[in-house]
Amino acid sequence: MVEELFTKIRQEFGEFDEENRKVDELRVLEQGSKTVDEYVQEFKGAARGSGYKRRALVEEFKRGLSRVIRRRLAEAKTPPTTIVQWQKRAVQLDRNIRQSRAEKKILGGGGGNMVLKGANGDLTVTSKM
C-alpha cells in the first residue's frame, strides 16, 4: 500500500519534472548558426512533452528563429499561422537564403557580363546578369 503511494507520487512528480525540463529547454532553444532544419528537429524534441500547444508553440518557435527569417515570414503577404506552417516556411526560406548566399560566393556577387563559348569557340553570348 505504501509502495503504491510512492509509485504514484514518483509517476506524478516525475512527469511534472519532465514537463518543466522540456519547457526550460524550449525557452532557451535558439537557431543560432544552425540551419532551420536543425532548429526544427531540436524544437520538436523539446516540444514533445512540454505541455505547450498551438499559440504557445508558435510563439516559442518564432522567438528562437533568426531575426531575418522571423521578420521575413511575419511580413509576408500571407504570414504563417500554425506551428506546421511556421516550420515548413522557415525551412524553405532558410534554404533559399543559404542557396542564394552560396551562389553569390560562387558567381562573385553577380553583376557584370557572362560570356559563353561553344566547344570550337564560335558561339559567344554576352548578357548583363
pLDDT in tens, 30-62: 999 999 999 999 999 999 988 899 999 999 999
Question: Global pTM?
Answer: 0.69
- pLDDT tens for residues 57-105? 999 999 999 999 999 999 999 999 999 999 999 999 999 999 998 888 8
Are 37 and 91 in contact by the 8 Å Cβ rule? The answer is yes
Are 83 and 103 in contact by the 8 Å Cβ rule? The answer is no
Give the residue extent of every domain in the chain. 2-128
Measured N-to-C along each axis, helices 54-64 and 83-107 cross at an angle, to the nearest 10 degrees, of: 20
Q: For 80, which DSSP code?
A: -
